[in-house]
Amino acid sequence: MLNFKAKELGMSDSIKHECGIAFLRLRKPLDFYREKYGTPLYGVNKMYLLMEKQHNRGQDGAGIANIKLDPEPGYRYISRVRSIDPQPIKDVFEKVSGRFNEAKKTDPSIFSDTKRLKRELAFTGELFLGHLRYGTYGKNSIENCHPFLRQNNRISKNLIVAGNFNLTNVDEMFQELVEYGLHPKEKADTVTVMEKIGHFLDTEVDAIYRKHRDLGKTRQEAVDAIPAELDLAKVLRQASVRFDGGYAMCGLVGHGDGFVLRDPNGIRPAYYYEDDEVSVVCSERAVIQTVFNVPFESIIELPPGHAFISKKDGTSKIECINEPGEYKACSFERIYFSRGSDAEIYAERKELGRRVVPQILEAINYDVENTVFSFIPNTAESAFYGMIKGVEEYANRHKVELIKAKAHELDEAGLIEIINERPRVEKLAIKDVKLRTFITDDDHRDDMVTHVYDITYGTVRPGIDNIVIIDDSIVRGTTLKKSIIKMLSRLKPKSIIVVSSAPQIRYPDCYGIDMAKVGDFVAFRAAIELLKERGLWSVVEDAYNKAKQLEKEGKLDTENCAQKLFEGFSDTELSEKIAELVTDDDIECEVKVVYQTVENLHIACPKNLGDWYFTGNYPTPGGTRVSNRALINYVEGKNVRAY
């Protein structure tokens, strides 16, 4: 028996993506928070909010770790809880708070004695690291959940790692670890990253210890010197020099240092805020703004290639770790992934909707009067507002021209009629997030998939009205074909125009988004169909042969051969073919697909220019290598990931 589950996500073609991070350092003693905020559990409470406000970034798992400063020997100083429960954040914090609730019942006085509280109860330390997981591939097991822990009996060699990252050269780094004489337990990027940072951390700790022992210091004096002298920036430079990918990588060292390291191209996001009470780093700016109620301008983007480093003594600094490259922050963060409550992101999403209006007007032959405008819930709503604004701007210009043309014959009633004309807006598509179906064969399963979305009846005049419906992006086109278009066609419109606020997704991602097989992309399939129809299959063969030659020469990262497949087609030609591919034969009305242009994407989102999934222009050599591997896999009929 097959089980189909409709996930509660915004975009119609849901893709797993970007994880979320939350780093928090309390810069005051626990008594300060107890006296000012009425609880010594200020850190735990803030971590819950930081993670809950980023739940959009990870629904497969969650984890939190905590380190206590200056622990007494014989007492635990590292705490960690992870969960893959259907509601992982809730599960994690129920486990954490359960310990506090039990203590309140048995010995409530412990909360007035912060020294004893910190010694005896978990998650009462000063340093926190939280993670929300969207698994881009692999099993969703507890072992895959961050934070990861590398344990050692020497306090400064303990390392906790979590992050929002994907690296393209894990095999290469794994081999480096083997050459160091290590024996990694797993070939995965998180484990590899942790072991590589851990290797250089061990080396640095040992060097400081030996230096002080050689100076005649006691063992304890040598150990006590490590926190102040440990150069985390040096450790990170040595460990990350050959990282290829997008990352916001976080770590805690057992004695109380911490860091967040961002990739040189700024692919993955990270923002930080500091005052005299806290240091905090998160994947999204709006989260910090909400949780700590601080001004927008006080939250700073961590520069690419830099690390936020927090020392045990509470001081912090921003240090350059790797030379920044061309700034290529992921544009999908602005289109879909990040919360729309961020002021800039909200404005940019509206502008994405407004920018695509000229193509929409052309698609409906400028017949605004007989068109119903709507959106795919939920994340396309902001782009929808921008789209309506753009249509209203066109309608207002049309009204002015009409009034000028009829100035001598218009009476008051006629003028009011013109002024009152506005775009017709309806909520046509409704996401049935609780739908669960249990079916036994593909034919019946497809019928059930149709009902992932419901429609609002009585909103469209059959045979007269066009439907324009906007989504954030169209990746595979599967839900579009099997659900959205089928359901909307029941309203019997004159035509259905599906609008994507993002450009055509043509190439794989390898930096944290689950888009690794080009055959899954409807834009790629459209190019393949056009090449077949026009007798140009040799273009595919030439691109494949070139990629194989580059692979043989060890130069697979020097040229993106897959770009050749798209060179002979305009965006419009591909969009028309995509419309054919997502329309079943039983659909009676005309279906059109309209995409954002790359040029307008960059105008709307000027800070996030990473567009490799649209253009094939990757910011790292590993991205180009992955694209070529994906092409090779497709031509050879291998339904496997390219990295």
pLDDT tens figures, 370-426: 999 999 877 799 999 999 999 999 999 999 999 999 888 889 898 998 899 999 999
Could you say which of 3.60.20.10, 3.90.320.10, 3.40.50.2000, 3.30.360.10 is the CATH number of the domain covering 19-164+251-329? 3.60.20.10
Mean pLDDT of 607-616: 97
| pLDDT at res. 431 | 75
Render pLDDT for 61-95 as a digit per residue (tens, 0 to 9).
999 999 999 999 999 999 999 999 999 999 999 99
Cα 332 from Cα 435, distance rounded (Å): 27
Render pLDDT for 475-510 as a digit per residue (tens, 0 to 9).
999 989 999 999 999 999 999 999 999 999 999 999
| pLDDT at res. 306 | 98
Torsions phi, psi of 57, nearest 5?
Answer: -95, -5
Instruction: Give which of 375, 380, 330, 333 is closest to 619, Cα–Cα.
Output: 330
Beta strands per DSSP E along 142-284: 148-150, 159-167, 245-253, 258-262, 271-274, 278-282
Mean pLDDT of 350-361: 98
Domain ranges for the chain, please list them: 19-164+251-329, 334-635
Mean pLDDT of 228-233: 98
| pLDDT at res. 139 | 61
Cα 39 from Cα 42, distance rounded (Å): 6
Mean pLDDT of 455-479: 94
Q: Give the residue carrying structure tokens 């993002």.
A: 502
Query: What are the residue ranges of helices labelled H in 328-461?
Result: 332, 343-355, 357-363, 381-405, 412-419, 442-450
Which is more confident, 139 or 509?
509
Positive or negative: CA dihedral 471, 477, 479, 482 = positive
> Encoding tokens for residue 5?
């589950």
| pLDDT at res. 7 | 35
| pLDDT at res. 538 | 98
Instruction: Give which of 446, 498, 511, 506 is closest to 475, Cα–Cα.
Output: 506
> β-pairing, 590-595 with 495-500?
parallel
Beta strands per DSSP E along 181-265: 245-253, 258-262
Mean pLDDT of 562-591: 97
DSSP structural state of residue 334: I
pLDDT at 580 over 50: yes
| pLDDT at res. 390 | 97
| pLDDT at res. 9 | 38
Beta strands per DSSP E along 426-545: 429-431, 436-439, 453-455, 466-471, 495-500
Q: Give the residue carrying structure tokens 């851990």.
A: 198
Verdict on whether the full-model pTM lies above 0.85 = yes
Cα 286 from Cα 303, distance rounded (Å): 18
Element (H, E) at 84: none
Which is more confident, 447 or 29?
29
Region label for 494, one of left (φ > 0), alpha (ψ between -120 and 50) or beta (otherwise): alpha
Cα 308 from Cα 317, distance rounded (Å): 6
User: In whole numbers, what is the pLDDT of the chain averaged over residues?
Assistant: 92
Q: Is 38 helix (H, G, I), strand (E, B) or coil?
A: coil
pLDDT at 264 over 60: yes
Q: Give the residue carrying structure tokens 């207002």.
A: 396
Cα 224 from Cα 59, distance rounded (Å): 41
pLDDT at 100 over 60: yes
Task: Please state, in angstroms and as integers, the Cα–Cα distance from residue 5 to each residue in 15, 134, 142, 526, following that order.
Answer: 14, 16, 21, 28
Band (pLDDT 50/70/90 cuts) for residue 58 is confident
User: Within 13 Å of residue 82, how many CA atoms lie on the same side as its CB?
Assistant: 18
The answer, yes or no, to whether the previous bond of 378 is cis (omega within 30 of 0) is yes
| pLDDT at res. 572 | 97
- Contact, 545 vs 560, CB < 8 A? no
Among 445-459, 510-524, 590-604, 629-643, the range with the most confident prediction by mean pLDDT is 590-604
Beta-carbon contacts of residue 131 (< 8 Å; ≥ 6 apart):
19, 20, 21, 22, 58, 62, 63, 64, 145, 146, 147, 162, 163, 250
| pLDDT at res. 3 | 31
Cα 53 from Cα 48, distance rounded (Å): 8
Mean pLDDT of 274-292: 97
Q: Give the residue carrying structure tokens 């007494």.
A: 72
The answer, yes or no, to whether the previous bond of 147 is cis (omega within 30 of 0) is yes
With respect to CATH, is domain 334-635 assigned 3.40.50.2020?
yes
Q: What percent of the chain has pLDDT over 90?
A: 80
- Contact, 52 vs 131, CB < 8 A? no
| pLDDT at res. 445 | 46
pLDDT at 137 over 60: no
Band (pLDDT 50/70/90 cuts) for residue 596 is very high
Task: Please state, in angstroms and as integers, the Cα–Cα distance from residue 243 to each residue in 100, 171, 259, 328, 574, following that order.
Answer: 40, 11, 17, 16, 35
Instruction: Give which of 272, 128, 271, 248 is closest to 193, Cα–Cα.
Output: 248
Band (pLDDT 50/70/90 cuts) for residue 643 is confident
Beta-carbon contacts of residue 259 (< 8 Å; ≥ 6 apart):
232, 236, 249, 250, 251, 307, 308, 309, 310
| pLDDT at res. 446 | 55
Task: Please state, in angstroms and as integers, the Cα–Cα distance from residue 213 to each residue in 44, 209, 221, 309, 544, following that order.
Answer: 39, 6, 8, 27, 60
Band (pLDDT 50/70/90 cuts) for residue 2 is very low
| pLDDT at res. 456 | 85
> β-pairing, 20-26 with 278-282?
antiparallel
Of the ranges 171-180, 316-325, 391-400, 594-603, which one carries the lowest mean pLDDT score? 171-180
| pLDDT at res. 441 | 45
Band (pLDDT 50/70/90 cuts) for residue 513 is confident
pLDDT at 453 over 90: no
Residue 246 one-letter amino acid: G
Helix axes 522-533, 537-553, angle to 10 degrees: 120
